Amino acid sequence: MSFEKLGLIKPLLSAINELGYEHPTLIQKRAIPLVMAKSDIFATAQTGTGKTAAFGLPILQRLRKSDGSSDRALKAVILSPTRELSIQIFEDFTQYSKHMKVECAVLVGGKDIESQQRILKKGVDIVIATPGRFLEHIQRGLNISSVEVLVLDEADRMLDMGFTKDIRKIHPLLPKKHQTLLFSATYSDKVRKLSKLVLRSPAFIETSKKNSTVDTINQKVYLVDTHRKAELLAYLIGSRNYPQVLVFTRTKVSANELFTELQKDGLKCGLIHGDITQAKRLKTLSLFKEVKLRVLVATDIASRGLDIEELPYVINYELPSVPEDYVHRVGRTGRAGRDGEAISLIDIYEKYDIKEIERVIGQKIAQETVEGFEPDPNIRRKDIDDIKLKSEHKKPEKKKAREYNKNTSKSVKTKTTSKKRRTTKRDS
């Protein structure tokens, strides 16, 4: 099936053709006709399968002004859990609507609310926002009486981050006959309860088993002692010449420490977590997308909303505290049908955690060791508490890793930005 057969209008077809979209993904094939038919939707799909276009394209088509009118009234609201994801969706909508007379606005925290109000007063058709900031604008007088479509994107993440109260306040304020589209990467009791609250006779779209990962991601686990994780990570990146790597830690402290260690190893790194200003986070993301940074170290703030074209590697330096978040992390690679590799470095503490993740995703992940980094069989769990990330006694392999990185950093090719474009209220 082609996008033309889905009934999209020429301005949209031209825009997605310029973006390099050739054929609709499964979620797009199923969702686009239902959105245009004004049905409520409850959709679960693996991350990286094109959900934004699945609701964005038909919404834009429905909002086209066939009468040539220039009057603007807010018709569609897209709520997402984080500033970064909201901005990403806004950028996607801007690309999709480049040949249409549609005005979009992004409303997120960290930006001046008065300047956002001035934009709204000029008139917009679509708002992309975080729930808290959108509710704040409503309380300041934003007129939502003409809203026809509400999208809850990454609904599971919004609930995990504590946005339930905001959504419960927003929903009753919207017109009774509006259409609601709920998209979630995972399927949980919380999401099902929310769907009963906001959806009316919805069409269900399930394009994969719940909480599963995409087939294009090669997943593996490397066993290593805690104090040698940073050492192994630097060695892998350097010796295997990884051109671009997104590395996840569980906490901000770990992220800061790892960032410092990798810089010492001669790697060009970026760092994003909740203590870093939004402006700096966005700048770092931009540099990483342009491959001006080889490594991006992040907490789970980056596990949603990051859409980096052809990102080849995701590495879990520490496993997430919530097993379901593994799906979102590794979903940053292997997007839109491309191949990707997800590596997890686990120590003796995380052997139980990986079993829980395997139970959640419904598959076993191959476990192996890297020569020279085999776990010490004499280390017991209670001994690990005494071992810090920055070991006072560096192993010879550390020097080897640094030599690899210095020798290969010059050989990494810098990609140019392609035409194709393709995270808690407080993060950990």
The secondary element (H helix, E strand) that includes residue 346 is strand 340-346
pLDDT value of position 410: 47
Query: Does any domain span residue 351?
Result: yes
- Give dist(CA 88, CA 418) in Å, integer: 16
Q: Which residues of the chain have pLDDT under 50?
A: 66-68, 384-385, 387-397, 410-428
Whether 5 maps to a domain, the answer reads no
Same domain? 262 vs 172: no
Please state, in angstroms and as integers, the Cα–Cα distance from residue 386 to each residue in 255, 290, 372, following that order.
Answer: 20, 40, 22
Has residue 424 been placed in a domain?
no
Same domain, 294 and 198: no
Q: Do 202 and 244 have their domain in common?
A: no
Q: How far apart are CA 138 and CA 170, in angstroms?
A: 8
171 and 309 housed in the same domain: no
Q: Tell whether 68 and 114 lie within a shared domain.
A: yes
Predicted model pTM:
0.62
Q: Which helix (H) or strand (E) holds 62?
A: helix 51-62
CATH at residue 126: 3.40.50.300
Looking at the structure, do residues 197 and 223 belong to the same domain, yes or no?
Answer: no
Letter for the amino acid at 108? V
Residue 203 is predicted with a pLDDT of 94
State the DSSP H helix or E strand holding residue 407, giving kind and residue range, or none if neither. helix 396-408
Q: Tens of pLDDT along 245-269?
A: 999 999 999 999 999 999 998 999 9
Residues 239, 162: one domain?
no
pLDDT recorded at residue 71: 65
CA atoms within 13 A on the CB side of 103: 12
Domain ranges, residue 404: 217-408
Is position 109 within any domain?
Answer: yes
The answer to whether residue 417 sits within a structural domain is: no
Tell whether 426 is covered by a domain. no
Which residue type, as a one-letter code, is found at position 386?
D
pLDDT at residue 256 in the model: 94
Both 229 and 324 in one domain: the answer is yes
> Do 90 and 153 touch, CB atoms closer than 8 A?
no
Q: Are residues 265 and 290 in the same domain?
A: yes
Q: Are residues 201 and 239 in the same domain?
A: no
Does residue 422 form part of some domain? no
Same domain, 115 and 161: yes
Cα–Cα distance for residue pair 55/194, rounded to 1 Å: 19
**Helices of type H across 140-277:** 155-160, 164-170, 189-198, 229-239, 252-264
The answer to whether residue 421 is domain-embedded is: no
Q: Which residues contact 89 (CB under 8 A, 6 or more apart)?
A: 52, 56, 78, 80, 106, 128, 153, 305
Q: Are residues 106 and 34 in the same domain?
A: yes
